[in-house]
């Protein structure tokens, strides 16, 4: 992570030295393409609700240097200073936002357990969209393919049939004390959260946290697991979660996240 930030800072410095970050002079200013050619509706006010990332910095630098970008930039709120242009001044402001998060740390943590990768995909979208920290729950005794063959007397079935089972976690996180908001992700196993999620919940204090469940499943809903979580340990505030199918996209996750009543 530090190497990536250093590389981005170096690249940004090469651009910024043409005028100097923070300069208000127009002399020598890079004349970037007017914002209206990308999206007439994008203004600096949109930036208030946008979570900038290192990729956004790279996108804007590539745009100014007239290089191909990895993403379609239409609709991106990159005009941070409200002058209807995308230029090096916006890079300076964007870096302040990104590096401020890096220095102070995030107050949001995405925690997830994923056996087949479906929940992991949703978690990664969420991490990218929010800039949150992350922690992966892994079983001390990993689940094999045979362990989740649901039509047999497999390990997962035996655990789900016994609400007292608490599978051991391989590398527990030291503390969640510095986080205010916890996204908790898991697959649905026979209509409920895997018992290893219960293990995690009982190991930490959530009494002052905002907890937001999310899950993946072929058809089962999230309601039963949400109730189990709420009943298992004291939680400061539990927001309504969301079930995602394996085919869910980043846009689906964005739509859900934007609907949540969270301070941004």
pLDDT in tens, 154-201: 999 999 999 999 999 999 999 999 999 999 999 999 999 999 999 999
**Are 80 and 197 within one domain?**
no
Query: In this structure, what are the phi and psi dihedrals at residue 243, rounded to the nearest 5 degrees?
Result: -95, 135
| Residue 131: closest CA among 58, 175, 92, 181 | 181
Residue range(s) defining the domain that contains residue 210: 108-259
Which one of 50, 75, 103 terminates a domain?
Answer: 103
Residue 55 placed within a domain: yes
- Is residue 264 situated within a structural domain? no
pLDDT of 105: 62
Record the pTM. 0.61
Residue ending a domain, among 54, 84, 103, is 103
> So what's the pLDDT on residue 136?
97
Q: Could you tell me if 165 and 220 lie in one domain? A: yes
pLDDT at res. 127:
96
Asked if residue 234 lies in contact with residue 207, where contact means CB atoms within 8 angstroms, the answer is yes
Q: Does residue 79 share a domain with residue 54?
A: yes
Centroid of chain to Cα 123:
6
Specify the number of domains making up the chain.
2
79 and 9, same domain (yes or no): yes
Q: 147 with 72, same domain?
A: no
Instruction: Verify that 46 and 162 share a domain, yes or no.
Output: no
Of 60, 79, 103, which residue constitutes the final position of a domain? 103
Q: Determine how many CB atoms are found less than 10 A away from the CB of residue 19.
A: 19
**75, 88: one domain:** yes
CA–CA separation, 241 vs 222, rounded Å?
A: 7
Q: Clarify whether residues 96 and 133 are in a common domain.
A: no
Cα(123)–Cα(256) distance, integer angstroms: 13
Give the span between the Cα atoms of 100 and 7, in whole angstroms.
Answer: 17
Which among 118, 94, 108, 120 has a CA at the least distance from the CA of 257? 108
In a domain, 28, yes or no: yes
On whether both 76 and 207 belong to a single domain, the answer is no
List the pLDDT tens digit at each of the 264 positions of the chain. Answer: 434 444 444 444 444 433 335 433 333 333 444 443 444 344 444 555 678 888 888 888 888 888 888 788 888 888 878 888 888 878 888 887 776 544 446 899 999 999 999 999 999 999 999 999 999 999 999 999 999 998 889 999 999 999 999 999 999 999 999 999 999 999 999 999 999 999 999 999 999 999 999 999 988 999 999 999 999 999 999 999 999 999 999 999 999 999 999 876
Residues 112 and 243 in one domain: yes
């Amino acid at each position: 992570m530090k190497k990536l930030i250093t590389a981005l800072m170096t690249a940004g410095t090469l651009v910024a030295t043409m005028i100097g970050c923070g300069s208000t002079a127009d002399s020598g200013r890079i004349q970037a393409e007017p914002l209206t050619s990308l999206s007439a509706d994008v203004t600096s006010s949109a930036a208030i609700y946008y979570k900038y990332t290192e990729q956004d910095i790279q996108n804007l630098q590539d745009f100014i240097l007239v290089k191909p970008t990895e993403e379609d930039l239409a609709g991106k709120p990159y005009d941070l200073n409200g002058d209807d242009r995308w230029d090096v001044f916006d890079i300076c402001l964007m870096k302040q936002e990104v590096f401020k998060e890096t220095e102070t740390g995030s107050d949001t943590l995405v925690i997830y357990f994923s056996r087949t990768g479906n929940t992991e995909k949703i978690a990664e979208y969420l991490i990218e969209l929010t800039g949150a920290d992350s922690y992966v729950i892994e079983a001390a005794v990993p689940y094999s393919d045979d362990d989740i063959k649901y039509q047999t007397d497999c390990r997962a079935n035996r655990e789900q049939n016994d609400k007292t089972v608490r599978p051991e976690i391989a590398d527990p996180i030291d503390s969640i004390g510095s986080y205010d908001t916890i996204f908790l992700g898991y697959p649905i196993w026979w209509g409920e959260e895997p018992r290893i999620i219960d293990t995690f919940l009982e190991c930490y204090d959530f009494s002052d946290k905002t907890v937001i469940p999310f899950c993946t499943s072929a058809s089962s809903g999230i309601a039963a697991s949400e109730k189990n979580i709420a009943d298992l340990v004291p939680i400061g505030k539990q927001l309504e979660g969301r079930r995602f199918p394996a085919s869910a996209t980043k846009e689906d996750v964005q739509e859900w996240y934007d609907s949540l009543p969270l301070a941004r």
